[in-house]
Chains A and B, each alone.
Chain A
Amino acid sequence: MNQPELKIGSYTLNSRLIVGTGKYASLELMRDCHAASGANCVTVAVRRERLVDKNSGRNILDMIDPKKYILLPNTAGCFTAEEAVRVARLGREMLTDSGFRGAEWVKLECLGDTKTLLPEPVGTLEALKILVADGFQVLVYCSDDVMLCKRLQEAGAAAIMPAGSPIGSGQGILNPNAIRIILEQLKEKSPDYPVIVDAGVGTASDVSMAMELGVDGVLLNTAIAGAKEPLKMAQAMGLATESGRLAFEAGRIPRKLYATASSPWEGRINV
């Protein structure tokens, strides 16, 4: 079923699901899961190249079709604004004249510590300002704090990406009301402003729930890569993204305490 495309910065996505590239048992499985998910944007991390033993020369980009996928470089593993800015610039440099799309944007991640992997709000805002001044379109990973999300939007973020729950935790959307308020506040003046749930989803219903709240997309990695059968979960996540979006657009019925009959009372034979 055709869904309206999602515009973020200068990029247009025809799937509202963005998937990661980490933790797969093999690069072939990653490639197949990407295809099964229906996503057309995948996020990649920046790390030191190995000087010896380089996986017989294979690079992750060899398994990503540049015609099909837009790359979203991220700053995963950065704990200060300085590190995040440095990594963002290296990611941009790698994509420049590389044949891949994605040099113009970055997923900003600036974390607080290695145990919680929770976003560090002060460093995140600081890095965002530097990157925006440097011409980046920045998709900002952050906590589901409404006021922080507003400050990030004001500072020029191209999209806000609140976590549903901690990275890789599979706890789902822990505070749907916070996501609701974020959507209401950030979209008040610009209804198309992209809000994407990034991190924490565990299974398809978590994705549907996020989409039904009205978020513009979901970004996930571990929920697929860590599933017993990643290929099936990839397909499930793609379907959940679509069904959740459709349900949001359709508009759910209000919750009521008492029943409402679906069949008419009139014409019952025992009256």
Chain B
Amino acid sequence: MCSAVIFGKIETMEVVVNGEIKEVADGTSVQELLAQFQIKPVRVAVERNREIVTRKQFADTRLAAGDKIEIVTFVGGG
């Protein structure tokens, strides 16, 4: 997928988060992605291209352009 130079030096890439296309900085980790959306890591589970990323791997897992990310949480249900 495409990487582009905007705002001078920051390289960005497109990833799909919960079905929406989002632009993030190149090399963004899962942990940084969650921070960008103000999501507490302790309350969610994350899939990267259908593979679960465990909480311990959040900091070290870097996203690549075109990655499909799912961030899920618990909601009310029966």
Q: Which residues of A come within 8 Å of B, CB atoms? A: 20-24, 30, 43-49, 51-52, 54, 57, 59-61, 71, 73-74, 76-77, 86, 89-91, 93-94, 96-98, 167-168, 199, 219-222
Contact = CB atoms under 8 A, between A and B. Distances in A.
B47 A21 contact: no
Contacts of A47: 72-75
Q: Determine the interface band of chain B, counting residues with CB < 8 A from chain A.
A: 20 to 34
Contacts, number: 108
A89 B70 contact: no
Contacts of B50: 86
A77 B78 CA distance: 10
Interface string B50-78: 10101100000000000000111111111
B40 to A, nearest CB: 8
Contacts of A86: 47, 50
6 contacts: A30-B76, A48-B72, A51-B17, A51-B20, A96-B54, A220-B78
A24 B20 CA distance: 28
A75 B52 CA distance: 16
A167 B78 contact: yes
Nearest to A98: B42
A44 B77 contact: yes
A72 to B, nearest CB: 10
Given A45-B77, A48-B72, A90-B45, 18 more contacts: A21-B75, A44-B75, A49-B37, A49-B39, A49-B44, A51-B71, A57-B38, A59-B74, A60-B75, A73-B74, A76-B77, A86-B47, A91-B74, A94-B45, A97-B55, A98-B42, A199-B78, A221-B77
Contacts of B70: 48, 90
A157 B1 CA distance: 44
B9 interface: no
B55 to A, nearest CB: 7
B3 interface: no
Given A20-B77, A20-B78, A54-B38, A46 B55 contact: no
Contacts of A221: 77-78
Contacts of B18: 48-49, 51
B47 A90 contact: yes
Q: Which of B22, B40, B74, B76 has the most CB of A within 10 A?
A: B74
Contacts of A71: 74
A21 B72 contact: no
Contact of A49 (B71, B76, B77): B71
B43 A61 contact: yes
B43 A94 contact: yes
A61 B43 CA distance: 8
Nearest to A222: B78
Contact of B77 (A51, A61, A74): A74
Given A48-B72, A90-B47, A96-B55, A76 B78 contact: yes
B52 A89 contact: yes
